[in-house]
Amino acid sequence: MHIDIRYPIGAMFSLFGAILTIYGLTTSSSSIYARSLGFNINFWWGLVLLGFGVIMLALAWRGSPKQKTS
Amino acid sequence: MQSMQLSIVDYVILVSYFVFVLGIGWALRRHMKTSTDFFLSGRAIPAWITGLAFISANLGAQEVIGMGASGAKYGIMTSHFYWVGAIPAMVFVGIFMMPFYYGSKARSVPEYLKLRFDEKTRGLNAISFTVMTVFSSGVSMYALAKLFELLLGWNFHVSIIISGAIVLIYIFMGGLTSAIYTEVLQFFLIVLGFLPLVLLGLKDAGGWTGLQAKLAMVSSARGFGAGAWSDSWSYMSTPSANPMGVDMFGMVMGLGFVLSFGYWCTDFLVVQRAMAANSMSAARRTPLIAAIPKMFFPFLVILPGMIAIGLTYAGGSGGFALPMKEGGVYDYDLAIPMMLAHYFPSGMLGLGLTALMASFMSGMAGNVTAFNTVLTYDIYQSYVRPNQSDAHYLWMGRMATIFGIALSMAAAYVAAKFNNIMDLLQLVFAFVNAPLFATFLLGMFWKRTTGHAAFFGLLSGTGAAALHHGLTKPLGALTLIKGGWLGTIVHTYPSEMAQNFWTAIFAWTTCFLVTILISFLTAQKKSEGELKGLVYSLTPRIKEEGVPWYKSPAFLGVVVMLAVIILNILFW
């Protein structure tokens, strides 16, 4: 069997999530959020991406022994 | 026009995405040992992955940019391209047609035609398909480079070379598996990149009710009834009552039956994803699993366009307005890119642009992998150098990938130079595609259909399409490329879309009738033994053994159809 696609998906979204969350925290009082209707969209959506990435990684990690046997 | 300023964080996200897709190709390069690995992923991919790749491969430039543009131009009626023009055909191909594609062990759609009919029908399909895929990936590349030049001031040539090179490298290394895996990655990126845009836009427009009120202003300003932009079916009794200028019959038959089934059931670009699945059951589930997210895509790609036009007419908090083209018409193609620029601060902007890039690349990769397979198996192996070792065809697949990308780049430059040539080519492809589903339908469900009948039926269908197009024109057409080039105008359609739908209906009907007629006049050269597994009546019924009931194609198909009916009623 090939590589488990959930690893790269999980890794990429965890990375994007971490980047956006940290960027959101460091720019929290910036005027750039006027355009996103006052939401610190980087921080909040970064958390969503991070959550999605971590869930994907967890699924891949949990599913990996089964992948080998099938 | 509002231009975009990217900061370092945006570039970090974009470059990381490139690293990930290239990394997937790199990780897979050792797994490509045979040509089956390279072209069909060794038929070893689980259904949820092939299902998501099935949608992504179709998600090219036309999807994100074009559907957003249509959402602004025509409103929610654009969703017919999904709820009428995609889902029923996807259910049909999964339940009824996949047993023949997957079960016959054909390696491509043209090869199925060879097994079912004869060499000339395969050749006709293989050649028109390869030319078509190269041009569509070229158009996709051109659109990407043009858009990034306009939005970000990036050099047109650099965009073409970078996007082409990245797709080339990962497909060269990992073949179809690379394409499928990156398509799944791109699927999630597109959903998670555009979803916040829809949420922000909808919030700005005052929710769905607020948006409806704004769209009513658009409707009345354009001289239609209040709900013309926000009701999908209510204004379809006559063509003049809706902005698309189509009636219900033309929509359901032209789009919902001929064009949609012709694309989803016969286009190797999508069918190839299902053929890579790890079992017959998984292959049949592929389009059904794909249909579930697909039916919600209107909210992701059409809704932003509707929000854009609504805000332009009514004015939102930040005063969003669609830019105008020269001559005072709205530049609808910029609806989604302008929304990205308007609502996303740096950081999210990087994510949004990466999602846009991903949609272009997944479409291009889909075209290239379908192209290299058909070129290698159906043209090279059949007509140029048959009886070579498998390693030779694996090598040829890699060469075909380079060749396909190079031709796509050339096509992108042709598109940049001669806009008319591209319009003309797309028109010719439409003529070629329209009758295809009649041939497959008869071939799969009527064992009497002969090879000569299939071949000449296809040609006559294409001829009928050209003839219909030459004798009719849409209202207000100025150039002959829109129709009426035979001099006499028999009928004038209220819109170009109505004309397209009716061209398809004429082509399909002609092909269907001519194929039946010629089948009766010619002898069936294939024996019943040869047709086993290729025709419905000669194929044993599939028993889905060891598959739980909730995974059976029939159950999934019913659920998908019910869900899509509910969506139609909700937005009637």
Tens-digit pLDDT profile for residues B5-28: 788 999 999 999 999 999 999 988
Residues of B in contact with A12 (CB under 8 A): 16-17, 20, 185
How far apart (Å, rounded) are the C-alpha atoms in residues B561 and B559?
6
Residues 39-58 of B with CB under 8 A from A: 41, 44, 49
Question: A interface mutation test: which of B34, B52, B188 has the most A CBs within 10 A?
Answer: B188
Q: Which of residues 24-63 of A touch B (CB under 8 A)?
A: 24, 27, 30, 32-37, 39, 41-42, 45-46, 48-49, 52
Instruction: List per-residue pLDDT tens for chain B, 572 residues long.
Output: 556 778 899 999 999 999 999 999 998 888 888 888 888 888 888 889 999 999 888 887 667 888 898 899 888 988 988 999 899 999 999 999 898 898 888 899 999 999 999 999 999 999 999 998 898 888 888 888 888 888 888 899 999 999 899 999 999 998 999 989 999 999 999 999 999 999 999 988 888 988 888 888 888 888 888 888 888 888 887 888 888 888 888 888 888 888 889 888 888 988 999 999 998 889 999 999 999 999 999 999 999 999 999 888 886 556 788 888 877 788 888 889 888 888 899 899 999 999 998 888 888 888 999 999 999 999 999 889 988 898 999 999 999 999 999 999 999 898 888 777 767 777 777 888 889 999 999 999 998 999 999 999 999 999 999 999 888 888 877 777 777 788 788 888 888 888 888 899 999 999 999 999 999 999 888 888 888 888 888 888 777 677 788 788 888 888 999 998 998 888 88
Handedness of CA B474, B477, B481, B486 (dihedral sign): positive
Question: How far is Cα of residue B397 from the mean position of the Cα atoms in its chain?
Answer: 23
User: pTM value?
Assistant: 0.91
SS3 B493: strand
B419-436 pLDDT tens trace: 777 677 777 778 888 899
| B20 in A contact zone (CB under 8 Å) | yes
Q: In angstroms, what separates the C-alpha of A62 from chain B's closest C-alpha?
A: 17
Q: Tokens 């005027």 correspond to what residue?
A: A31
ipTM above 0.95, yes or no: no
SS3 B45: strand
Enumerate the residues of chain B whose CB falls inside 8 A of the CB of residue A19.
Answer: 9, 12-13, 16, 347
Token pair for B414:
């042709």
The answer to whether the CB of B474 falls within 8 A of the CB of B483 is: yes
Searching chain A, which residue's CA lies closest to the CA of residue B345? A32
Question: Half-sphere exposure of residue B335, counting CA atoms within 13 Å on the CB side?
Answer: 32
Q: Please list the helix, strand and coil fractions of chain A in percent, rounded to the nearest 5, in that order.
A: 75, 0, 25
Q: Which residues of A touch B348 (CB under 8 A)?
A: 20, 36, 41-42, 45
Q: Do A8 and B181 touch (CB under 8 A)?
A: yes
Residue B94 and residue B287 in contact, taking contact as beta carbons nearer than 8 Å: yes
How many inter-chain contacts (A to B, CB under 8 Å) are there? 88
Give the residue on B whose Cα is nearest the Cα of A36: B343
pLDDT number for residue B403: 93
For A65, phi then psi, to 5°, come to -65, -35
A37: chain B residues, CB-CB within 8 Å: 200, 203-204, 317, 343
| CA distance to partner chain A, nearest, from residue B23 (Å) | 9
* Cα(B468)–Cα(B261) distance, integer angstroms: 20
